[in-house]
Amino acid sequence: MFPELNNILNSTPDSFKSSDFILVSDRQADASFLIHHYLSFYLRAGCKVCFLGLVQSFSHYSAVGQRLGVSLAQAREKGQLVFLEGLKDSIGAILQEESSQGTQHLSYLRSPGAGLKGLFRFVESSVRQNGDHDDGESWGPPVLLIDDLSVLLSLGVTVGAILDFTLYCQATMCTELQGNMVILVRCEEEDADDDEEGANLLQRGLVHQCNLALHVEGLPTGYCRDIHGQMQVWWRQSGETMYNPRKTFHFKVHDKGASFFARGTSSAVL
Amino acid sequence: MLLDVLQGAEPGGFILIQDTVKCTGRGILKCFINAALKRGEDVHVLGFEASETEVCAGLDRSCVQKLHFHKGFPDPLGWMCRSSFTVDQLTSQHITKLIKDSQHAKAPVLVIDSLSLVLRHHDPVVISQRLQVLRKGGDIKTIISLLHSDLHLHGVVGIVSHLASTVISVAPANNEHHAVATTTRRSKSGKVMQEEEYFNVSEDMTLSVQAKLRQHGHVQKEQKVAEVSNAALILNDLRWRFLL
C-alpha cells in the first residue's frame, strides 16, 4: 500500500469511497504495481476480495504482498481472499475433453466466441459467499481485482464480450453490493486510425464505464533513473457535470513501495 | 440552436447525442429528458447502461411520475433473468406494445441509453431499420439516443447519424466548466444547418448555452453582405471617376 497514492486519491483503508470502478491502464510501461497497492489496500481494509490473477501465479502476488505487509496465503485460508489462478487453471480447462462445472468459468478458453458469462458467474458466486472473520464479524464490502483484462483479447475474446462482462460486474459489485472494482488493462501504441478491435478500444470502453482512471506511461523524454514514469489520475464524475479533473504525477517504484510527486519535484531534480 | 432543439423536439424526429471518453453526453441526455417531462410529455427510457437511480438523479421531482424507466440495467442481456427489457427487445413490435400498455393520451418520447450497447449486439443496419419504423409509426413523438462514437467504426457512426434529424456532438472546451456542442440539424426540406456552442449542465439538469462559437449559415450571410458592399463601393468609385 502506498501512502502517497492514498493522499492523492484521498482514501485510506479506514475511509474509502464505495461503489467505485477504478480502471488502471498502461502504455509502454508497467502499471501492475498499482494492482499490488490495491490488493494490500483492500485486504487491510477488511474487504472480501475476489482476485482474478490471469497473468501471474499466486506465489508471485504473495511474494510482493509480503513486502507490502499482507499475507495472501492467510487471507485465502481465512476466506477473505478468493483467488483465481488463471495460468494454472487454464491448463486443466484446455486439456479436458469437454467443459465441466469446475472449469465453466474458463469456458472462454475453449469457445472464445461464447463470451464471459461463466467468468461472471464465478465472480458473482465468490462475492456472495457468506464468510466471517475468525471473531464472527462479516467482511467489509466486496472488491473485484483483475490482472490483466486485456490478455483475454489475445485468447480470442472480443472487446464487446469483455465490456459486457465488466458491465455486469459493475452492476453487481458496485451498484448492488456497494463494493469496488479495480481492473488493469494494457494499451497498445496510439494510432490515429484507431477504429479496429484491440486494447485501445477496450480501454476507451472501460473509461466510459469507470469512476476513476489511472493511466501509467513512460516519460515522454525517455529513461530516467530517478523517475520511472508518469501517472495520470482522471476523476470521472457521475456523468452530469462537465468538470472531470485530471492531474499528472511522476512516480518511482521502490522495493517495498512507490513514491509519487508532482511533476518537476523529484529529489533528483530539486 | 441547441436550446431550440431542446425546447422543440419536433414530432417524428430522431435526436442523436454523440460523446467520447473526453466528454460525456449523459448530462445533455438528462437535460432532454427533464425538458420533455416539464412539457408534460411521457418519457420512456430504455436504460441499458445506467441504473434508474442514476438516470433520475437531478430530474424535476414533480414530473417524475411521467418517466417510465424500463430496466435493462443491471441485466441488459438477460444473463440473470432479472431484466424487464433486454437489448433483444429493441424492436418496433415490443416498443409499440410497451407504449400501448402504458395508455398515454399523446405519443411519448423514447430515450435509449445507450445505443452503443445495442449496436454491440445487433447489426447497425437492422437497428437503423427498426428505428426508422418507430419514427414513422406514429406511436412515438421523438426518439432521443446516446451514442459513444469512439467505441464504433466510423461507418457505423455514419449509418446512425445519417438516420438522425439532429446530431449533437459534445467535446471538451478549454474552460473546464463548459463543453462544446456541435449541433447539426437537417430540416424536412433537406437543408442542413450547423452550429457550435458552449454549454453547461447544472445540477438540476438545466441546460445553459453560454456563447456561440461559430454559426456556419450566419458566417456565409455576413460574407455575402461584405462582398456586395465592396462591389457597391467599386461601382460608386467608377461612377465618380466617370463624372469627373
Summarised one tens digit per residue, pLDDT across range A31-51 is 999 999 999 999 999 999 999
The Cα angle at residue A91 between residues A86 and A96, in degrees rounded to 5: 125
User: What average pLDDT does range A48-66 have in this prediction?
Assistant: 94
Interchain CB distance below 8 Å, A160 and B120:
yes
The pLDDT, as a whole number, for residue B216 is 47
The pLDDT, as a whole number, for residue A242 is 58
Q: How far apart are CA A147 and CA A56, in angstroms?
A: 8
The pLDDT, as a whole number, for residue A193 is 53
Per DSSP, chain A holds a count of helices (H) and strands (E) of 9, 9
The pLDDT, as a whole number, for residue A228 is 86
Residue B14 vs residues A30, A135, B34, B166: alpha-carbon distances, Å = 44, 59, 17, 6
Find, among A185, A48, A234, the residue nearest to A129 by Cα: A48
Q: Which three cell numbers stand for residue A240?
A: 452530469
Q: How far apart are CA A73 and CA A58, in angstroms?
A: 9
What lies within 8 Å, CB to CB, of B194 at 6+ separation is B182, B183, B184, B185, B216, B217
Pick left, alpha or beta for residue A215 (phi over 0 → left; psi -120 to 50 → alpha; otherwise beta).
beta
The Cα diameter of chain B in Å comes to 92
Q: Give B-chain residues touching A172 at CB under 8 angstroms.
A: 74
The Cα angle at residue A192 between residues A191 and A194, in degrees rounded to 5: 65
Confidence of residue B219 (pLDDT cuts 50, 70, 90): very low
Among the ranges given (A167-171, A244-248, B128-132), the one the predictor scored with the smallest mean pLDDT:
A244-248
Confidence of residue B220 (pLDDT cuts 50, 70, 90): very low
3-state secondary structure of A111: coil
Do residues B30 and B144 lie in contact, with contact meaning Cβ atoms separated by under 8 Å?
no
Q: Give A-chain residues touching B24 at CB under 8 angstroms.
A: 208, 236, 239, 244
Q: Say yes or no: domain A18-211 is CATH 3.60.20.30.
A: no
The pLDDT, as a whole number, for residue B213 is 62
The pLDDT, as a whole number, for residue A72 is 94
Find, among B165, B149, B114, the residue nearest to B1 by Cα: B165
Interchain CB distance below 8 Å, B49 and A171:
no
Interchain CB distance below 8 Å, B74 and A175:
yes
Q: Where are the beta strands (DSSP E) in chain A?
A: 21-27, 47-53, 81-85, 140-147, 180-186, 212-217, 229-235, 246-253, 258-262
% of chain B beyond a pLDDT of 70 = 84
More confident residue, A213 or B215: A213
Confidence of residue B226 (pLDDT cuts 50, 70, 90): very low
The pLDDT, as a whole number, for residue A156 is 87
Do residues A181 and A206 lie in contact, with contact meaning Cβ atoms separated by under 8 Å?
no
Matching residue, cell 407504449: B99
The pLDDT, as a whole number, for residue A38 is 95
The pLDDT, as a whole number, for residue B136 is 85
The DSSP 8-state label assigned to residue A139 in this structure reads P
User: What average pLDDT does range B208-213 have in this prediction?
Assistant: 76
Is the pLDDT assigned to residue A100 strictly greater than 90?
no
Do residues A212 and A235 lie in contact, with contact meaning Cβ atoms separated by under 8 Å?
yes
Tens-place pLDDT, residues B99-156: 888 777 788 899 999 999 999 999 999 999 999 999 888 888 899 999 999 999 999 9
Q: Which of A164, A175, A205 sits opposite B151 (nearest CB)?
A: A205
Query: Between the CA atoms of A73, A75, A80 and A83, what dihedral angle is there, to the nearest 10 degrees?
Result: -30
The pLDDT, as a whole number, for residue A226 is 81
Among the ranges given (A76-80, A134-138, B19-23, B201-205), the one the predictor scored with the smallest mean pLDDT:
A134-138
User: What average pLDDT does range B188-214 have in this prediction?
Assistant: 84
Among the ranges given (A70-84, B62-76, B156-170, B204-218), the one the predictor scored with the smallest mean pLDDT:
B204-218
The pLDDT, as a whole number, for residue A183 is 97
Q: How far apart are CA B83 and CA A31, in angstroms?
A: 36
Tens-place pLDDT, residues B12-55: 789 999 999 988 899 999 999 999 999 989 999 999 999 898 88
Is the pLDDT assigned to residue B65 strictly greater than 50?
yes
Q: How far apart are CA A133 and CA A159, in angstroms?
A: 38
Q: Which of B21, B77, B153 sits opposite A208 (nearest CB)?
A: B21
Verify cis geometry, omega within 30 degrees of 0, for the bond prior to A148.
Answer: yes
Neighbours of A102 (CB within 10 A): 11
Q: Which residue of B has its CA nearest to A209?
A: B49
Is the pLDDT assigned to residue A148 strictly greater than 50?
yes
Is the pLDDT assigned to residue A230 strictly greater than 70?
yes
Interchain CB distance below 8 Å, A239 and B24:
yes
Q: Give A-chain residues touching B203 at CB under 8 angstroms.
A: 240-241
The pLDDT, as a whole number, for residue A98 is 56
The pLDDT, as a whole number, for residue B223 is 33
Do residues B152 and A197 lie in contact, with contact meaning Cβ atoms separated by under 8 Å?
no
Q: Which of B20, B154, B201 sits opposite A241 (nearest CB)?
A: B201
Confidence of residue B230 (pLDDT cuts 50, 70, 90): very low
Q: Which three cell numbers stand for residue B236?
A: 460608386
Q: Which residue of B has its CA nearest to A119?
A: B79
Is the pLDDT assigned to residue B166 strictly greater than 50?
yes
Is the pLDDT assigned to residue A160 strictly greater than 80?
yes
Interface size between A and B, measured as CB pairs under 8 A: 71
ipTM surpasses 0.95: no
